[in-house]
């Protein structure tokens, strides 16, 4: 039920990838346990700005609303994060909503993160199995190692780490923390490790790990608290070894 408080939002909007962005201010009745997404849903039911102008509902991306799908990343009060866990009562107002700036604009708060998925292809972020037929159990894995892998495998390709990274820009090829961390994950797995050299070779090339400026902003914004800098350090070490190996063997 709404109480007598008001939620003030300032939203950056853009109709098309090549048109100019503009701002809209919208006020909503406050509701307990509201989050940024419930506010955007309330706007859909009454899309009117603070000065009474009827507008189109805001376009954004969301799905699970419980921070496991990675869809709803945006920049809220200057900080990149998932908007589902952005609880209104914990945010200073007006709540300023902007799209991520490092990915191609689609519309309003929606951007195109295809590049992240393409990077997963480049580094072969998968375990290459012989086939799906029942050929028995997987490798025995110590619980400690499993727990370490689990931390990395929670990466939901949300893009927070890349938005925060000074090295990652719209016009370069830098792969960024999330990709390097996935290299570490698959190189850790007993079967995945069989392709570890190929993965390392890929991130030794253009846009690879050597371009990391060690700003460490990635790990600060990761909603899943993935030890990204640890991954970068470890994979960085592995690439150095690989480089030496290449020099000696060639």
Report the interface residues with other proteins, using CB under 8 A. 15-16, 31-35, 37-38, 41, 44-47, 56-57, 59, 61-71, 84-85, 87, 106-107, 110, 113, 117, 120-121, 124-129, 131-132, 134-138, 140-143, 146-147, 149-150, 153-154, 156-157, 186, 189, 191-192
Minimal distance in Å, beta carbon 145 to other proteins? Answer: 9
**Cβ distance to other proteins smaller for residue 168 or 186:** 186
**Cβ distance to other proteins smaller for residue 17 or 213:** 17
**Cβ distance to other proteins smaller for residue 192 or 207:** 192
**Cβ distance to other proteins smaller for residue 28 or 212:** 28
Minimal distance in Å, beta carbon 250 to other proteins? Answer: 27
Minimal distance in Å, beta carbon 196 to other proteins? Answer: 13
**Cβ distance to other proteins smaller for residue 77 or 153:** 153
Minimal distance in Å, beta carbon 198 to other proteins? Answer: 12
Q: Read out DSSP for the chain?
A: ---S-EEEEEEEE-SSTTSPPEEEEEEEE--TT-BHHHHHHHHHHS-B-TTS-B-PPPP---SSSSSSS-TTEEEETTEEEESTT-BGGGS-SSEEEE--SSS-EEETTEE--HHHHHHHHHTT-S---S-SS---------HHHHHHHHHHHT-----HHHHH-SS--TTS----HHHHHHHHHHHHSTTGGGGHHHHHHHHHSTTSGGG-----HHHHH-TT---HHHHHHHHHHHHHHHHHHHHHH-
**Cβ distance to other proteins smaller for residue 34 or 212:** 34
Q: What are phi and psi of 8, to 5 degrees?
A: -105, 130
Minimal distance in Å, beta carbon 70 to other proteins? Answer: 6
Minimal distance in Å, beta carbon 144 to other proteins? Answer: 9
Whole-angstrom distance, CA of residue 94 vs CA of residue 97: 9
């Amino acid at each position: 039920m709404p109480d007598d408080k008001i939620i003030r939002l300032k939203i950056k909007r853009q109709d098309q990838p090549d048109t100019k962005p503009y701002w809209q201010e919208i006020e909503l009745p406050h509701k307990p346990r509201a989050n940024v997404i419930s506010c955007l849903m309330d706007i859909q039911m009454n899309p009117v700005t603070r000065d009474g102008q009827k507008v189109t509902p805001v376009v954004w991306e969301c799905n699970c609303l419980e921070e496991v799908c990675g869809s709803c990343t945006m920049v809220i009060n200057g900080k990149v994060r998932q908007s589902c866990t952005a609880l209104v009562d914990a945010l200073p107002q007006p709540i300023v909503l902007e799209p991520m700036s490092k990915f191609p604009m689609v519309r309003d708060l929606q951007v195109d993160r295809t590049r992240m998925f393409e990077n997963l292809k480049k580094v072969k972020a998968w375990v290459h199995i012989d086939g799906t037929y029942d050929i028995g159990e997987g490798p025995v894995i110590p619980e400690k190692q499993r727990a370490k892998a689990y931390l990395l495998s929670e990466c939901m390709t949300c893009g927070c780490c890349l938005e925060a990274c000074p090295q990652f820009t719209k016009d370069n090829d830098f792969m960024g923390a999330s990709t390097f961390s996935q290299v570490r994950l698959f190189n850790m797995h007993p079967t995945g490790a069989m392709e570890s050299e190929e993965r390392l070779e890929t991130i030794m090339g253009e846009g690879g790990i050597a371009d990391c400026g060690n700003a460490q902003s990635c790990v600060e914004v990761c909603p899943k608290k993935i030890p990204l800098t640890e991954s970068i350090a470890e994979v960085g070490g592995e690439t150095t070894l690989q480089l030496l190996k290449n020099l000696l063997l060639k």
